[in-house]
């Protein structure tokens, strides 16, 4: 398979949300010709001003693209975009490549790969690990499942958007690995929230507590950045809490199928759900604020 360089292929990109819009911009910056589709057309304006071509439907996009990338919100969105007479697979030419980057069930990844193979389209699940700043800076980690030859051919695309990328195995392996990663991300944030509230309740100064924690080996880099924002009571969404809990549902569903008990994940899911009931879109680190409220810890200058 030929290398998927900017000189060799035209790209189509579907889903211009917080992550997708930044990834698409990186691809434009690296010289790729890009056709884009998003149900909310206003989200495409910035990319169009940089040279992207906006189309009215995904069938039109699929007919013109050699490689299609998608970054969608959930399993239902992936299924609706790709399947049926108005879906991507109805317009894609044999030999088209799909790099599906959404966080979905591994079963959804495998089913899409099977459906696409029936029309001569090669699908790889390429799950994303990283925040919106990482997407903007091109320092994401990519977790891929599918054809290994395609994985190597797609490396020029990966290099434009990621710092590192891994081939985990057959179709569904990339999204499986993403669920493993996000288990640690979500449960780790809940553990940090409980630890911080313990320290605050026992008399430690909140600012100093957060600063020291962020410099210890037990706090992962993904969480350390959250502590700096928590110090300013900034819970604006980089990785929305609603998406974290969507991932928890996928994790627990996969665990049930594999007969794996996950009591800590179940508890973190419930705390997330309680915070989501407040109805405000916020970052997944807002579980720290939830635990402060439950424990009766008063934080001055809170954004709530």
Q: Which residues are catalytic?
A: 178
Q: Enumerate residues 6+ apart whose C-beta is below 8 A from 171.
A: 109, 110, 113, 114, 123, 124, 125, 145, 146
- Residue 16 tokens read as 């211009």
The 162-169 sheet, strands edge to edge:
53-54, 33-37, 10-14, 67-70, 97-100, 122-129, 140-145, 162-169
Please state, in angstroms and rounded to a whole number, the distance separating the CA atoms of residues 187 and 181.
Answer: 10
Give the single-character DSSP code of 240: B
Q: In terms of Cα–Cα distance, which of 120, 77, 128, 73 is closest to 98?
A: 120
- Counting Cα atoms < 13 Å in the Cβ hemisphere of 55 gives 19
Alpha-carbon separation of residue 156 from 4, 39, 71, 147, 216 (angstroms): 6, 28, 18, 16, 36
Give the single-character DSSP code of 283: B
């Amino acid at each position: 398979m030929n290398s998927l360089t900017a000189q060799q292929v035209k790209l189509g990109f579907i889903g211009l949300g917080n992550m997708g819009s930044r990834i698409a911009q990186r691809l434009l910056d690296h010289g790729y010709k890009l056709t884009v589709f998003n149900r909310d057309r206003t989200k495409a304006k910035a990319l169009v001003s940089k040279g992207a071509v906006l189309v009215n439907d995904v069938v039109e996009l699929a007919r013109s693209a050699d490689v299609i990338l998608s970054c969608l919100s959930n399993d239902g969105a992936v299924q609706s975009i790709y399947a049926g007479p108005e879906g991507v697979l109805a317009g894609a030419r044999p030999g088209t490549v799909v790099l599906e980057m959404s966080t979905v069930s591994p079963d959804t990844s495998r089913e899409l790969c099977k459906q696409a193979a029936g029309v001569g389209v090669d699908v790889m699940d390429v799950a994303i690990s990283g925040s919106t700043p990482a997407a903007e800076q091109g320092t994401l980690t990519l977790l891929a499942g599918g054809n290994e030859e395609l994985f190597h051919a797609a490396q020029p695309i990966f290099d434009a958007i990621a710092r590192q990328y891994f081939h985990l195995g057959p179709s569904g392996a990339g999204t499986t690995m993403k669920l493993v990663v996000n288990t640690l991300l979500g449960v780790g944030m809940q553990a940090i929230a409980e630890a911080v509230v313990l320290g605050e309740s026992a008399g430690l100064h909140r600012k100093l507590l957060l600063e020291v924690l962020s410099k210890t080996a037990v706090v992962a880099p993904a969480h350390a950045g959250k502590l700096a924002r928590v110090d300013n009571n900034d819970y604006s969404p980089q990785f929305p809490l609603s998406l974290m809990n969507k991932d928890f549902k996928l994790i627990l569903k996969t665990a049930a199928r594999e007969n794996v008990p996950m009591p800590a994940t179940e508890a973190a899911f419930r705390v997330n759900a309680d915070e989501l009931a407040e109805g405000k879109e916020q970052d997944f680190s807002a579980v720290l604020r939830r635990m402060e409220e439950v424990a009766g810890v008063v934080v001055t200058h809170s954004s709530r």
